[in-house]
Structure 1
Amino acid sequence: MQRFHHAMADEHQRRRELTRDLQSAVGTGQFELFYQPIISLWRSELSGFEALIRWRHPQRGLVSPVQFIPLAEESRLILPLGEWILRRACGQAVEWKFEQRGLSMSVNVSALQFEQRDFVQSVQMALERSGLPGHCLTLELTESMVLRDIGLAGRHIRQLKESGVRFALDDFGAGYSSLSVLQSLPLDHLKMDRSFLQACRRPDSKRPRLVLETLVSMAQRLGLTVIAEGVETAEQGELLRHFGCDSAQGYFFGRPQPADEASSWMFTAAGS
């Protein structure tokens, strides 16, 4: 029991230290964005990137988002961090000439950020300051987030869609999935959780494959494009093409990369 209490105390101290470091990191440029490619399965070419936050701690090195994002949410530091992510991602999309290339930048939105009264204005400001057209930005929301206040979610989505911004429902199928969300909100994309593809690798994969195929067909009939997450093999990519899935991302196509590496990858892919 004593060892258990010591472990709890150590974990509490570690979280306090990391939260303290997080507060200083927001203002000292320790964060950067990595970019993971999203591939159109129909055209076999790049359709955009998802921007993913990374923290380069001066002593700890690269800290996983799994460790610091919950702390940022608890401390509300996710609000200034979320604004920085949005501004930086929009600026990068302009630098990479996304409008001319027909590409889109996807950005994850936290629940706390999304529920702010000035959320719509903050997104519009990021677009205006960067010069990025709204249709080149996709905001990724989770089901649990929009279900907290589906009326608010609908208002924010509809207001921003007037500026051309697109919306994706992220990690669909990771937990409790409500089809009512797909019916009631004017979404553009459905991002299927990686668990669907993982289930298809099992020996008894007939039922998971049927679920995957049905989900793709249903979403497309609702006017949504379907993006599969967690593609790790060529076989999985071919399975998705066979089922008519629109786009995909995962280590098979490309890992999250720093901006300079993603830029080189993008131009190499465009030339191939």
Structure 2
Amino acid sequence: MAVLFIDLDRFKHINDALGYDCGDQLLAAVARRLLNRVRNEDTLGRYGGDEFVLVLDQVRDAAAAASVARDLLSVFDTPFEIDNQPPLYLKASIGISVFPDDGDTAAELIRDADAAMNQAKRDGRNTFRYYQEQLTRTANTRLALESRLRRALDQGGFEMHYQPLVLLETGVVIGAEALVRLRRTDEPPIGPAEFIPVMEESGIIVELGHWVQREVCRQGRRWLDEGYRFELLALNLSPEEVSRGGVVEHLKEVLAETGFPPGLLELEITESGLIQRGEAVVEFLHELKALGVRLAIDDFGTGYSSLSYLKRFPVNKLKIDRSFITDLPGDTSDAQLTTTIIQLAHNLGLRVLAEGVETEAQRAFLSDRGCHAYQGYLCSAPLPAQDFAARFLGVPSPEAKT
């Protein structure tokens, strides 16, 4: 006997974008497709939310269960047709546990298949994975990390660092991107590449995002009151924040509370995060723009957005993903892609900034092709607020408030 734990990839984004009625219709359509593929002796049930459990009563071994998993994944190759909606493309991740190797009870088999499914998601989604004992240890470690992050959020355990944004033509620092960091403690250090995905999966990234928005606006207001001058402070909006909603209302509240000028705030949203919201994203961006803030598409070039959409986005800037910058100027493909993105930004009347610039050769390449600005270790690593101000914001003006 084997248990397959099936979880729909990014289903929540569809629910948030199109509504729960559409989501329920989509779940019913998924269930019908799955039922058409399973054998009479197998048992398929909805486990909760966007999760299904399939019990294979008669399978010879794990390889046979894998064959079923491949077949089930193929049902998602064709888009789903839901009333009054464009074709919806959906994928799934599947975890497999086998009796008696992976457990003796139904609860153990479901738990282990769930752990394997989560590994499939971490490995890129739209695939399946077998349960391994190491996955339980990994899950326990992840739970401990989530608990630590929740504790840090509740007890002031995060801080903001600021990385300079530099004009390529003049070398002048015009502002900074605000990047969240976990404060140093006696516990092992954890970088954002490790803790951000955990917070996104657990949902607490939204609470962290609210804290970041308030903290950055407070710091910006403080600098202005001290007489420092800058053109902008940029911060990231996670895909979870974008999909869950409430961003516009919260930002309006924060800007009013802190008195930070909205024209000095730039919100960066990843290209993939915008695509996930579909048509609704255009209205969302216009609502943000109405607050007076600037908008930038982050990690541009990695999300395959439609150019027709891009023309409609009320954004000010494209940020070229660091993956295109790393091997410049030697990599011909990256050089061509980067040049194309810069030209595209010019044609659309947008500013363009390159991330991850670390060498003088990269800086010169970008400058020669008309890129407006850059950020990266060539200028500076992200710095605590006090260090950033001392190094890059210069001497406060005499008009500072006392």
With normalisation by structure 2, the TM-score equals 0.62
In structure 1, give the amino acid aligned to 2:224.
Answer: K
Mapped contact 2:162–2:388 kept (Cα < 8 A): yes
What is the match of residue 308 of structure 2? 180
Quickly say closer, same or farther: Cα 1:22–1:206, change in 2 above 3 A.
closer
1:18 and 1:245 map into 2 onto residues whose CA distance is 39
1:82 and 1:179 map into 2 onto residues whose CA distance is 29
CA deviations on 1:198-218 (whole Å, 9 max, x unpaired) are 24343xx34432332222121
1:100 and 1:251 map into 2 onto residues whose CA distance is 23
What is the match of residue 131 of structure 1? 259
SS in 1 for 2:169: coil
- Structure 2 residue 252 is matched with structure 1 residue 118: no
1:267 and 1:148 map into 2 onto residues whose CA distance is 37
Residue range with higher mean Cα deviation, 5-14 or 244-253: 5-14
Q: How many residues align?
A: 268
In structure 2, give the amino acid aligned to 1:225.
Answer: R
Mapped contact 1:104–1:136 kept (Cα < 8 A): yes
In structure 2, give the amino acid aligned to 1:69.
Answer: I
In structure 2, give the amino acid aligned to 1:50.
Answer: E
Of residues 222, 234, 240, the one that matches 2:360 is: 234
1:44 and 1:117 map into 2 onto residues whose CA distance is 38
SS in 1 for 2:234: strand
Residue range with higher mean Cα deviation, 95-104 or 157-166: 95-104
- Structure 2 residue 180 is matched with structure 1 residue 47: no
Shift of 1:18: 0.7
What is the match of residue 220 of structure 2? 93
Quickly say closer, same or farther: Cα 1:209–1:74, change in 2 above 3 A.
closer
Unaligned ranges ≥5, structure 1: none
Shift of 1:102: 4.0
In structure 2, give the amino acid aligned to 1:213.
Answer: T
In structure 2, give the amino acid aligned to 1:26.
Answer: L
2:302 and 2:395 map into 1 onto residues whose CA distance is 31
What is the match of residue 248 of structure 1? 374
Mapped contact 1:54–1:62 kept (Cα < 8 A): no
Mapped contact 1:49–1:105 kept (Cα < 8 A): yes
Quickly say closer, same or farther: Cα 1:14–1:197, change in 2 above 3 A.
same
What is the match of residue 260 of structure 1? 386
CA deviations on 1:124-158 (whole Å, 9 max, x unpaired) are 11111111111101111011111112333222221
CA deviations on 1:187-232 (whole Å, 9 max, x unpaired) are 1100001122224343xx3443233222212111101100001100
Mapped contact 1:90–1:132 kept (Cα < 8 A): yes
1:269 and 1:182 map into 2 onto residues whose CA distance is 40
In structure 2, give the amino acid aligned to 1:112.
Answer: E
Shift of 1:177: 4.3
Shift of 1:100: 6.7
Shift of 1:40: 1.1
2:264 and 2:249 map into 1 onto residues whose CA distance is 17
Mapped contact 1:56–1:63 kept (Cα < 8 A): no
1:134 and 1:116 map into 2 onto residues whose CA distance is 22
Shift of 1:175: 4.5
What is the root-mean-square deviation of aligned Cα atoms in Å? 2.4
Mapped contact 1:141–1:168 kept (Cα < 8 A): yes
What is the match of residue 222 of structure 1? 348
With normalisation by structure 1, the TM-score equals 0.90
Mapped contact 2:228–2:393 kept (Cα < 8 A): no
In structure 2, give the amino acid aligned to 1:214.
Answer: T
CA deviations on 1:63-118 (whole Å, 9 max, x unpaired) are 11122112212221112111000000111111122997242111101112122332
1:199 and 1:139 map into 2 onto residues whose CA distance is 27
Shift of 1:169: 0.4
Quickly say closer, same or farther: Cα 1:148–1:206, change in 2 above 3 A.
closer
- Structure 2 residue 187 is matched with structure 1 residue 60: yes
2:147 and 2:184 map into 1 onto residues whose CA distance is 12
SS in 1 for 2:183: strand
In structure 1, give the amino acid aligned to 2:201.
Answer: E
What is the match of residue 144 of structure 1? 272
In structure 2, give the amino acid aligned to 1:7.
Answer: Q
Of residues 179, 196, 204, the one that matches 2:324 is: 196
SS in 1 for 2:371: coil
Q: Highest relative contact order (Cα 8 Å, sep 6+), 1 or 2?
A: 1
SS in 2 for 1:154: helix
Mapped contact 1:172–1:192 kept (Cα < 8 A): yes
- Structure 2 residue 109 is matched with structure 1 residue 109: no
Percent same amino acid at aligned positions?
34
What is the match of residue 211 of structure 1? 337
What is the match of residue 31 of structure 2? none
* Structure number with higher helix proportion: 1
Shift of 1:159: 1.6
What is the match of residue 159 of structure 1? 287
Mapped contact 2:275–2:303 kept (Cα < 8 A): no
Mapped contact 2:217–2:260 kept (Cα < 8 A): yes
